């Protein structure tokens, strides 16, 4: 396999935003790779991030996400004969067995059960084709536009592919689901069944890497070794993806080491942060405070903080009546002249309109 050497001039050419410190280099063996901040989705490192490749069992990240969005963990699922004995990894489901969706999800993500994936797909989608349609629809909603699913488990199909970038996007979306995070960060799970009820996680990241909390391994002879890892330190969660990489774990660790070493998550502004008072026309108060609707934090190198610029778009006056939390403006954040965030500015309180008589009296005064 051709080695990928990411060094300072390569990074500058490929990303134009990210660079290594002097004399530092990173050598990995992946055909495609990416390092992404989970919350902001900023790309910290990349190599061939949009190359379409098979992804093996990392497919199951989307399988789990679709199931969590459309099913109930307590649902009891009866296993049909046609999913028994599917090739590859298995949790050894039995014909007629009744098992909860929760146990199937743990079997899917910890033991990489292909039979578990099929059971989930048939139950959530009512049939396999509908579930695959749901997977592809969600991929498009997330923005994973270079991804196509043909099955819920990742066994090879020439039309079943993704990219490192898309897979990182899908994973960052899945990590917004607390149950998904709980499942993928579990080292072991005991299922409510008589046999084969202990599921140990195949993902060594949970044991070997500080802050490791996911996500999924994958391997077929056609895809090579594929891995999505995640780690959280000091409220910063990084996602590393490598596709077709013989040194899958070590290379993901190198990517995340780079991210934690060189970047820090800064709070640019917080939810409810005050910006200014705006004059109110015909209101019971002369002005209304406006604040940020949501918080915004972003991973930056130390020397990038001074390159952040913020632009507020606000009216000079607002007419009463005014409802609390009404959108009155926008905030745009730039890094090196490039937009990295756009958010809403809202009113902090209600202000009623002054009656005609009171307005006349005020004018006379």
Q: What is the pLDDT along the chain (365 residues), one digit of tens a residue?
A: 444 444 333 333 333 333 333 324 688 999 999 999 999 999 999 999 999 999 999 999 999 999 999 999 999 999 999 888 899 999 999 999 999 999 999 999 999 999 999 999 999 999 999 999 999 999 999 999 999 999 999 999 999 999 999 999 999 999 999 999 999 999 999 999 999 999 999 999 999 999 999 999 999 999 999 999 999 999 899 999 999 999 999 999 999 999 999 999 999 999 999 999 999 998 999 999 999 999 999 999 999 999 999 999 999 999 999 999 999 999 999 999 999 999 999 999 999 988 666 666 666 66
> What pLDDT, on a 0 to 100 scale, did the predictor assign at position 365?
63
pTM over 0.85: yes
Q: What pLDDT does 195 receive?
A: 93
- Of the candidate CATH numbers 1.10.3210.10, 3.40.710.10, 2.170.150.70, 3.30.70.2740, the domain formed by 4-262 belongs to 3.40.710.10
89: left (phi over 0), alpha (psi -120 to 50) or beta: beta
Phi and psi angles of residue 83, each rounded to the nearest 5 degrees, phi first = -105, 0
Q: What is the pLDDT of residue 122?
A: 97
CA distance 137 to 135: 6
Closest C-alpha among 7, 11, 35, 10 to residue 23: 7
Question: Residue 85 has what pLDDT?
Answer: 84
Query: CATH 2.60.410.10 residue ranges in the chain?
Result: 268-364
pLDDT at 18: 34
User: Is position 57 annotated as part of the catalytic site?
Assistant: yes
112 carries an active-site annotation: yes
Exposure b/e, 167-177, CB count within 10 A at least 16 = b: bbbbbbbbbee
Q: What is the pLDDT of residue 235?
A: 86
Report the pLDDT value the prediction gives residue 357, as an integer from 0 to 100. 62
Of 57, 89, 116, 186, the active-site residue reads 57
Name the H helices within the chain.
Answer: 8-15, 60-70, 101-110, 114-124, 128-142, 164-174, 178-184, 205-208, 248-262, 356-364
288: three-class secondary structure by DSSP = strand
Query: Which segments of the chain belong to CATH 3.40.710.10?
Result: 4-262
Annotated active-site residue in 40, 112, 186, 223 = 112
Listing DSSP states for 130-158 in one string gives: HHHHHHHHHHHHHT-TT-B-S-SS----T
CATH topology of domain 268-364: Peptidoglycan synthesis regulatory factor (PBP3), Domain 2 (2.60.410)
- C-alpha neighbours within 13 Å on the C-beta side of residue 88: 21
Catalytic entry in 32, 60, 223, 254? 60
């Amino acid at each position: 396999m051709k080695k990928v050497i990411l060094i300072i001039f390569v990074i500058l050419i490929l990303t134009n935003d990210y660079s290594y410190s002097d004399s530092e280099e990173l050598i990995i063996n992946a055909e495609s790779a990416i390092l992404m901040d989970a919350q902001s989705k900023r790309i910290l490192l990349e190599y061939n991030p949009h190359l379409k490749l098979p992804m093996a069992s990392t497919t199951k990240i989307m399988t789990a996400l679709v199931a969590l969005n459309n099913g109930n963990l307590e649902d009891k699922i009866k296993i049909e004969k046609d999913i028994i004995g599917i090739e590859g990894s298995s949790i050894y489901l039995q014909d007629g067995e009744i098992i909860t969706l929760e146990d199937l999800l743990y079997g899917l993500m910890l033991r990489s059960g292909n039979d578990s994936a099929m059971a989930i797909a048939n139950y959530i989608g009512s049939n396999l084709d509908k579930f695959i349609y749901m997977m592809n629809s969600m991929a498009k909603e997330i923005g994973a536009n270079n991804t196509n699913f043909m099955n819920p488990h990742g066994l090879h199909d020439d039309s079943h592919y993704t990219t490192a970038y898309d897979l990182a996007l899908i994973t960052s979306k899945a990590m917004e689901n607390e149950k998904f995070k709980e499942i993928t960060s579990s080292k072991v799970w005991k299922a409510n069944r008589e046999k084969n009820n202990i599921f140990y996680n195949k993902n060594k990241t949970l044991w070997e890497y500080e802050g490791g909390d996911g996500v999924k391994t994958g391997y077929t002879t056609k895809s090579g070794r594929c891995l999505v890892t995640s780690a959280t330190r000091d409220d910063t969660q990084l996602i590393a993806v490598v596709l077709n990489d013989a040194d899958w774990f070590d290379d993901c660790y190198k990517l995340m080491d780079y991210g934690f070493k060189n970047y820090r998550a800064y709070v640019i502004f917080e939810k409810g942060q005050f910006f200014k008072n705006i004059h109110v026309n015909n209101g019971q108060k002369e002005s209304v405070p406006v604040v940020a609707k949501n918080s915004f934090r972003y991973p930056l190198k130390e020397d990038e903080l001074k390159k952040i610029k913020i632009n507020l778009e606000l009216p000079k006056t607002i007419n009463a009546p005014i409802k609390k939390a009404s959108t009155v403006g926008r905030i745009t954040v730039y890094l090196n002249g490039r937009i990295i965030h756009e958010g809403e500015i809202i009113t902090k309180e209600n202000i009623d309109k002054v009656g005609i008589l009171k307005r006349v009296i005020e004018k006379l005064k």
